[in-house]
């Protein structure tokens, strides 16, 4: 089960945690809910009344909506056994959004009393855009607090982007690790992690959240081990940059999502009936409309990057699909193409190594070009170009058009493609150390 949790997106991990907590609730527990009492004090040491207490994760709290009384005191009951694991961790958060103050304290199994001292809160600001950098005014950003190795919502409501696509979140406890998850109707999702210590500022301006357009269909059917349709099964969608949604199967076991983003994704289906749970997960591809999920197998499949057919022996696709023109690719010479993703460390390291070899390759009459093959925001790409003056032309895939799939749908980045002077592919997917051996047959 831990393997499933790691593969799910942040929102999906929360749903799975809640599901597991529900299962744990059916197990008899010999320990009663623990009583926790405490008080909230302002920066001057005075008690603060009317402060709402938030517990993360909140499913371990047996009562909700607690606020401090006139003396700044509060009391709550926790059911730590509901976590289903050893050494459960819970964090209690107090926020004064008007004065931008906040505090947080971890609760251990033996904790009975605690004090929360409000201090200057952390403010986080950011923006939501499409892949071209255009602001999205209907974005929603959720803030989540890391507890141990799991993130949980610190606030139930999301923060809407304004007319400029901007959002501001105030009164967050400092010295904590957070992740933010952003989405918008008709688009996918994006996440960022942040952490701040006492020595740093209490204001963080995040890079924009670029969202992919969710314009591909996805549908299928859930069946049991006897190939019979399963009605009212819940199907969860997960994938890097994908929307995080769930739908319910109809009476014939069919499900359909409104729209997903180009690329690979993962589906997790479950149904709970008669005191028993059955689940399964499968990999899929945007545009699939006949995905079959077999419940009862309890099998999982890790999502794989979409793979296109090999180009070996075939003419090279038109490089205009990645923004490279005739001036970038002189005719009559072998061509080396490097597909990469600048947001991945291996790609950044590889492009630097390739730049170091550029002069030698040019003297051998080998044309070199690079392609940023993964979709990123315009601002991020332009900033990278300004900071990295490579000696070879660099193109870019700007959308998920079919013409660019040859560059996007490779097994991993970085990815090299080598052609002869006739622009037929002679090798691809090899290491830089193997380049000389690949070039040898092309030399006259």
Query: pLDDT grade, residue 264 (50/70/90)?
Result: confident
Question: Residue 235: pLDDT above 90?
Answer: yes
Q: φ, ψ for residue 126 (rounded to 5)?
A: -165, -175
Residue 440, SS3 per DSSP:
helix
Structure tokens at 330: 């002189």
Structure tokens at 37: 């009492």
Q: Any bridge partners for residue 187, and if so which?
A: 213
What mean pLDDT comes out for the span 288-294?
A: 87
Q: What percent of the chain has pLDDT over 90?
A: 40
| C-alpha closest to that of 343 among 230, 190, 214, 225 | 190
Separation of CA 221 from chain center: 26
Question: Residue 9: pLDDT above 60?
Answer: no
Tell me what pLDDT residue 424 has.
94
Number of domains in the chain: 4
Residue 67, domain extent: 31-120
Tell me what pLDDT residue 213 has.
96
What mean pLDDT comes out for the span 155-182?
A: 89
Shared domain for 435 and 330, answered yes or no, is yes
Question: Residue 2: pLDDT above 50?
Answer: no
Strand order in the sheet with 113-117: 73-78, 34-41, 113-117
Confirm whether 21 is domain-assigned. Answer: no
Shared domain for 127 and 171, answered yes or no, is yes
Strand order in the sheet with 367-372: 394-396, 367-372, 335-340, 415-419, 425-428
Query: pLDDT grade, residue 52 (50/70/90)?
Result: confident
Question: Residue 7: pLDDT above 90?
Answer: no
What mean pLDDT comes out for the span 183-190?
A: 94
Confirm whether 277 is domain-assigned. Answer: yes
pTM of this prediction exceeds 0.75:
no
Question: Residue 222: pLDDT above 70?
Answer: yes
Shared domain for 266 and 353, answered yes or no, is no
What mean pLDDT comes out for the span 132-153?
A: 86
Tell me what pLDDT residue 197 has.
61
What mean pLDDT comes out for the span 180-200?
A: 83
Shared domain for 180 and 241, answered yes or no, is no
Shared domain for 389 and 323, answered yes or no, is yes
Confirm whether 78 is domain-assigned. Answer: yes
Query: pLDDT grade, residue 273 (50/70/90)?
Result: confident
Check: CB of residue 62 under 8 Å from CB of residue 83.
no
Tell me what pLDDT residue 153 has.
80
Structure tokens at 216: 């591909």
Q: Of 211, 244, 272, which marks where a domain is finished?
A: 211
Question: Residue 24: pLDDT above 60?
Answer: no
Confirm whether 362 is domain-assigned. Answer: yes
Question: Residue 194: pLDDT above 80?
Answer: yes
Shared domain for 99 and 181, answered yes or no, is no
Question: Residue 423: pLDDT above 90?
Answer: yes
Question: Residue 64: pLDDT above 80?
Answer: no
Query: pLDDT grade, residue 444 (50/70/90)?
Result: low
Average of per-residue pLDDT values in the chain: 82
Shared domain for 75 and 114, answered yes or no, is yes
What mean pLDDT comes out for the span 316-321?
A: 90
Tell me what pLDDT residue 111 has.
82
Confirm whether 382 is domain-assigned. Answer: yes
Q: Of 151, 179, 211, which marks where a domain is finished?
A: 211
Check: CB of residue 415 under 8 Å from CB of residue 339.
yes
Shared domain for 257 and 328, answered yes or no, is no
Tell me what pLDDT residue 23 has.
40
Q: b/e for 223-259, b at 16 or more Cβ within 10 A?
A: bbeeeeebeebbbbbbbbbbbbbbbebeeebebebeb
Q: Within 13 Å and on the Cβ side, how many CA atoms surround 306?
A: 22
Q: Where are the alpha helices (DSSP H) in 292-377?
A: 345-356, 358-363
Q: What is the CATH number of the domain that holds 385?
A: 3.40.30.10
Q: Within 13 Å and on the Cβ side, how many CA atoms surround 291?
A: 28
Question: Residue 304: pLDDT above 90?
Answer: no
Question: Residue 205: pLDDT above 50?
Answer: yes
Confirm whether 374 is domain-assigned. Answer: yes
Whose tokens are 């009605």? That residue is 231
Check: CB of residue 225 under 8 Å from CB of residue 245.
no
Query: pLDDT grade, residue 298 (50/70/90)?
Result: very low
Question: Residue 253: pLDDT above 50?
Answer: yes
Other Cβ atoms less than 10 A from the Cβ of 348: the count is 15
The pLDDT tens digits of the residues spanning 81-123 come to: 655 555 567 888 999 989 999 999 988 777 888 899 999 999 9
Q: What is the CATH number of the domain that holds 98?
A: 2.60.40.1120
Q: φ, ψ for residue 358 (rounded to 5)?
A: -60, -45
Shared domain for 338 and 432, answered yes or no, is yes
Q: Within 13 Å and on the Cβ side, how many CA atoms surround 365?
A: 10
Check: CB of residue 97 under 8 Å from CB of residue 170.
yes
Shared domain for 227 and 246, answered yes or no, is yes
Separation of CA 1 from chain center: 19
CA distances from 38 to 100, 120, 431 (A): 21, 20, 60
Tell me what pLDDT residue 413 has.
83
Separation of CA 286 from chain center: 17
Structure tokens at 63: 């009562």
What mean pLDDT comes out for the span 391-395?
A: 92
Contacting residues for 367 by C-beta, under 8 A, at least 6 apart:
329, 330, 333, 334, 335, 336
Q: Of 104, 120, 136, which marks where a domain is finished?
A: 120
Q: What is the DSSP string of 106-170?
A: EE-TT--EEEEE-EEPEEEEEEEEETTS-B-TT-EEEEEEEETTEEEES-SS-EE--TTSEEEEE
Other Cβ atoms less than 10 A from the Cβ of 159: the count is 20
What mean pLDDT comes out for the span 405-430?
A: 89
Confirm whether 22 is domain-assigned. Answer: no
In this structure, are strands 189-195 and 177-183 parallel, antiparallel, or unpaired?
Answer: antiparallel
Tell me what pLDDT residue 166 has.
96
| C-alpha closest to that of 108 among 31, 36, 29, 197 | 36
Please name the helix (run of DSSP H) or strand (run of DSSP E) that holds residue 378, with its range, or none.
helix 378-387
Confirm whether 312 is domain-assigned. Answer: no
Tell me what pLDDT residue 83 has.
54
Residue 103, SS3 per DSSP:
strand
Shared domain for 65 and 108, answered yes or no, is yes
Residue 10, SS3 per DSSP:
helix
Shared domain for 98 and 207, answered yes or no, is no
């Amino acid at each position: 089960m831990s393997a499933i949790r790691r593969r799910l997106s942040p929102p999906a991990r929360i749903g799975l945690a809640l599901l597991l907590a529900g299962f744990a609730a059916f197990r008899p527990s010999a320990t009663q809910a623990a009583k926790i009492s405490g008080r909230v004090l302002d920066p001057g040491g005075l008690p603060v009344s009317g402060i709402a207490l938030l517990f993360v994760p909140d499913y371990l709290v047996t009562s909700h909506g607690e606020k401090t009384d006139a003396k700044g005191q509060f009391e709550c009951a926790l059911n730590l056994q509901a976590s289903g694991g050893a050494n459960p961790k819970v964090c209690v958060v107090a926020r004064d959004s008007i004065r931008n103050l906040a505090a947080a304290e971890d609760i251990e199994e033996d904790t009975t009393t605690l004090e929360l001292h409000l201090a200057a809160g952390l403010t986080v600001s950011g923006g939501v855009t499409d892949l071209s950098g255009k602001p999205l005014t209907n974005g929603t950003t959720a803030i989540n607090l890391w507890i141990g190795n799991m993130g949980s919502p610190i606030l139930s409501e999301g923060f809407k982007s304004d007319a400029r696509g901007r959002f501001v979140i105030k009164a967050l406890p400092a010295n904590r690790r957070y992740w933010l998850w952003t989405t918008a109707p008709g688009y996918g999702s994006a996440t960022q992690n942040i952490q701040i210590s006492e020595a740093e500022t209490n204001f963080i301006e995040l890079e924009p959240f670029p969202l992919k357009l969710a314009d591909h269909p996805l549908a299928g059917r859930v069946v049991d081990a006897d190939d019979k349709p399963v009605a009212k099964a819940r199907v969860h969608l997960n994938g890097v940059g994908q929307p995080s949604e769930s739908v319910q199967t109809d009476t014939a076991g069919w499900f359909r999502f409104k729209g997903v983003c180009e690329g690979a994704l993962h589906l997790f289906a479950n149904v709970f009936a008669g005191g028993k749970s059955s689940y399964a997960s499968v990999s899929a591809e945007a545009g699939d409309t006949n995905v079959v999920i077999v419940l009862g197998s309890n099998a999982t499949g890790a999502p794989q990057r979409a793979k296109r057919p090999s180009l070996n022996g075939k003419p090279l696709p038109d490089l205009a699909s990645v923004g490279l023109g005739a001036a970038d690719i002189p005719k009559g010479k072998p061509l080396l193409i490097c597909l990469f993703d600048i947001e991945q460390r291996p790609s950044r390291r590889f492009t630097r190594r390739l730049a170091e070899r550029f002069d030698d390759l040019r003297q051998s009459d080998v044309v070199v070009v690079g392609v940023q093959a993964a979709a990123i925001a315009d601002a991020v790409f332009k900033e990278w170009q300004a900071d990295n003056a490579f000696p070879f032309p660099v193109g870019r895939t700007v959308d998920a058009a079919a013409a660019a799939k040859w560059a996007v749908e490779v097994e991993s980045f970085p990815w090299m493609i080598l052609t002869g002077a006739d622009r037929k592919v002679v090798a691809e997917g090899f290491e830089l150390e193997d380049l000389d051996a690949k070039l040898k047959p092309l030399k006259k």
